[in-house]
């Protein structure tokens, strides 16, 4: 039998009778006894044992007077009358003095005595001194019946042992990424900042891309970031955009006009690398060659300690391009650049010490600077060291052209061409760093 419907029916019909208001002035023990009897009577009624329920209600009425119980007794007696002999309905022989039954009102006619059903006496049943606890169907047999008339004991929950508040690795909160999703990388975070307008993030991502690092975005995105940053006035972005236009990188057309425009904007803000590039272009670029502008911008970059500016300004003084030729000043500038790690400046110092240009000849110092250039990756340093080894360190002195053989003349021309090619490589190094 499903006990749940019966249980909820009991709660609905027996709650007021079991725990409802009672007469005032009774002792706690009387209240306790009356409530227990009412609870047991309500449970017996729920089970369908009307006779036992009636007896228990009458027992509770002998403890405490309550009109609601009187009505309940009347209702149960009527049920018994309907089931058996109407003349044998049980009832208490005497009603409490303070209770006036409906037929006892003044002027009312007393109903016919319905009689007492078999098994009942006219004397009210004596309530048990100590009723055995009733075990309800849903309770375990080994446990005592709960006291429905008492307030339930409040048990304080035990404080669990302190545990880490961090979720276990296998746990995942609803708003977190799925467990198979990789955490956002630093590159992803940087891309998000760049898309949000962070200029430093834009420039950093493009520089990483130009250094050859594979990046998860297209060239067009890099050009967009650089263009946005350059238009916002970022000097470094203006320099990079100028380089893109000069070399025709990332899908942009080769456009020297745009290149000079953006490089000048950057250089005018004092950005030393842009000053060095702009000066080198004015020195080397044939269609825009301007030695005065070259000297101006290279001198600004060199005074800020820029190694490229020092190197190219040394070339201008060494060759006397738009300025008085001054090998000594060239050596000074190259030394400053070489001490910062510029391999081209180190190579030029090796040439100067080997041939005594601007300094006294010194094979040892020449080898020292050639080796430094070789460590930096200069393409001609190894060959120069081999030539010095073959000549035992003797300086290579220049001879008049008419005294040279055809092979020697072509070798000198080839050296000149190599020097200009090296200048071009240096210019590209600036763009690539």
Three-class SS state of 116: strand
Delimit the domains of the chain by residue range. Answer: 3-99, 186-432
Task: Summarize pLDDT for 362-405 with one digit per residue, the tens.
Answer: 999 999 999 999 999 999 999 999 999 887 755 555 444 444 44
Q: What is the mean pLDDT of residues 148-172?
A: 54
Of 75, 141, 70, the closest CA to residue 101 belongs to 70
- Which tens digit of pLDDT belongs to each residue from 186-232? 899 999 999 998 999 999 999 898 888 998 888 999 999 999 999 99
Token pair of 183 as six digits: 């955490």
Q: Print burial letters for 142-161: b (CB count within 10 Å at least 16), e (below 16).
A: eeeeeebbeeeeeeeeeeee
What was the pLDDT predicted at 120? 45
How does pLDDT run across 281-295, given as a tens digit for each residue? 999 887 889 999 999
Residue 338: closest CA among 330, 329, 347: 347
Residues 6+ apart with CB under 8 A from 278: 260, 263, 264, 267, 293, 297
Give me the mean pLDDT over the 81-99 stretch: 51
The 10 Å Cβ neighbour count of residue 254 is 12
Among 3.10.290.10, 3.40.190.10, 3.40.50.2000, 1.25.40.10, what is the CATH number of 186-432?
A: 1.25.40.10
Write down the residue that tokens 């967009």 correspond to: 224
pLDDT, tens digit, for every residue of 102-144? 445 555 554 454 444 455 445 555 555 555 555 555 555 554 4
Q: Is the pTM of this model over 0.95?
A: no
CA proximity to 299, closest of 336, 339, 246: 336
pLDDT band at 328 (very low <50, low <70, confident <90, very high): very high
Alpha-carbon distance of 205 to 214, in angstroms, equals 10
Distance (Å, whole) CA 101 – CA 433: 110
Output the CA–CA distances (angstroms, integers) from residue 216 to 199, 206, 221, 432, in the order listed: 18, 11, 10, 20
Both tokens of 293, joined, read: 């502008």
Question: ∠331-332-335 over CA atoms, to 5°?
Answer: 80
pLDDT band (50, 70, 90) for residue 314: very high
Helical H segments across 117-255, by residue range: 186-195, 199-210, 219-231, 235-247
Neighbours of 317 (CB within 10 A): 23
**Which whole number is the average pLDDT over 250-269?**
94
DSSP one-letter string for 66-112: -HHHHHHHHHHHHHHHHHS-TTB----SS--TT---GGGSTTPPPPP
């Amino acid at each position: 039998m499903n006990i749940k419907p019966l249980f909820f029916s009991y709660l609905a019909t027996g709650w007021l009778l079991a725990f409802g208001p009672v007469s005032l002035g009774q002792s706690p023990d009387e209240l306790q006894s009356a409530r227990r009897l009412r609870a047991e009577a309500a449970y017996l009624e729920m089970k369908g044992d009307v006779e036992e329920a009636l007896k228990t209600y009458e027992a509770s009425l002998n403890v405490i007077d309550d009109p609601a119980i009187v009505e309940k007794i009347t209702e149960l007696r009527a049920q018994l009358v309907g089931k058996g002999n109407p003349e044998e309905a049980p009832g208490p022989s005497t009603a409490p003095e303070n209770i006036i039954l409906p037929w006892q009102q003044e002027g009312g006619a007393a109903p016919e005595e319905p009689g007492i059903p078999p098994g009942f006496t006219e004397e009210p049943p004596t309530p048990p001194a100590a009723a055995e606890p009733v075990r309800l169907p849903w309770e375990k047999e080994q446990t005592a019946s709960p006291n429905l008339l008492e307030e339930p004991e409040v048990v304080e929950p035990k404080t669990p042992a302190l545990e880490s508040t961090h979720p276990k690795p296998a746990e995942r909160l609803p708003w977190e990424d799925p467990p198979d999703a990789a955490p956002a990388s630093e590159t992803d975070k940087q891309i998000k900042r760049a898309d949000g307008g962070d200029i430093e993030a834009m420039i950093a991502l493009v520089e990483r891309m130009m250094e050859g690092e594979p990046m998860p975005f297209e060239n067009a995105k890099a050009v967009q970031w650089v263009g946005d940053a350059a238009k916002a006035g970022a000097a470094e972005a203006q320099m990079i955009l100028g380089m893109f236009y000069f070399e025709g990188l990332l899908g942009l057309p080769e456009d020297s006009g745009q290149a000079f425009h953006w490089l000048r904007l950057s250089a005018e803000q004092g950005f030393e690398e842009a000053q060095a590039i702009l000066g080198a272009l004015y020195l080397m670029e044939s269609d825009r060659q301007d030695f005065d502008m070259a000297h101006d911008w290279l001198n600004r970059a060199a005074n800020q300690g820029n190694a490229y500016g020092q190197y190219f300004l040394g070339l201008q003084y060494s060759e006397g391009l738009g300025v008085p030729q001054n090998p000594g000043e060239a050596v000074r500038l190259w030394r400053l650049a070489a001490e910062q790690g510029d391999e081209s400046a180190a190579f030029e110092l090796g040439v100067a010490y080997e041939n005594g240009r601007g300094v006294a000849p010194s094979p040892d110092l020449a080898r020292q600077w050639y080796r430094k250039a070789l460590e930096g990756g200069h393409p001609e340093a190894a060959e120069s060291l081999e030539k010095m080894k073959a000549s035992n360190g003797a300086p290579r002195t220049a001879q008049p052209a008419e005294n040279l053989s055809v092979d020697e003349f072509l070798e000198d021309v080839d050296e000149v061409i190599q020097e200009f090619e090296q200048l071009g490589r240096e210019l590209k190094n600036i763009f690539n760093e």
